[in-house]
Homo-oligomer: A and B are copies of this chain.
């Protein structure tokens, strides 16, 4: 997250009908660290009380209402419209969100950006789009590209804060048991199998290998390996001391 950069994004909702959607948008913004919400003539004047703005009271309180799109984006040097593929207009470049967000992020390092969302029912109108430098669309199914407004905003904001590197790097080691511990456990398991006269593995020529692979596939964690080892030790003792 880069708070200063995120501050440069203005989420602009145009003609929103349902105040619950405004609240849900505010919540998603707060979740992802964006705080500048702008509304162009929302239908419901009392939108600020929307109960759906869970944890986002400040975003709702600070939200500004504008009469026109032009006023809402007056301080922005890039205006981008979020729309379904069905709204493709030949005179406007359209980028899939993965690419669109990359362009937005780049622009946000230096100056203000407006991301426009149209009404629940009709999306962005032609006059709204005329304010946009380009459009972006979430890669939905062509057969069902109409998303819930607040879900669409959540997905766009997520793409903006997403860290590609996180998918490439391995996360912190999950404290997996090391080879030696796994080996010890495998030995113990073999002893238990032998002691219990389990024939499927012990009679096979490659029985040892099979046991090995079996244990490897368990991806044992350190603590679990210790617990299981303790269990098997007890089992082995009992097998060898049936009257004990």
Interface pair A171/B1, CB less than 8 Å apart = no
Contacts known (A99-B171, A154-B154, A171-B93); A161 close to B139, Cβ less than 8 A: yes
Question: What 1/0 mask marks residues of chain A from 110 to 141 whose CB sits below 8 Å from any chain B CB?
Answer: 00000000000000000000000000001111
Q: Does A89 contact B (CB under 8 A)?
A: no
- Chain B nearest CB from A35 CB (Å) reads 11
Contacts known (A55-B146, A96-B166); A140 close to B171, Cβ less than 8 A: no
- Chain B nearest CB from A90 CB (Å) reads 9
Q: Does A144 contact B (CB under 8 A)?
A: yes
Known: A139-B163, A158-B158. 16 other contacts (CB 8 A): A27-B148, A27-B151, A31-B141, A31-B147, A32-B141, A56-B144, A91-B223, A93-B171, A93-B174, A98-B163, A98-B164, A101-B167, A102-B167, A138-B158, A147-B154, A159-B162
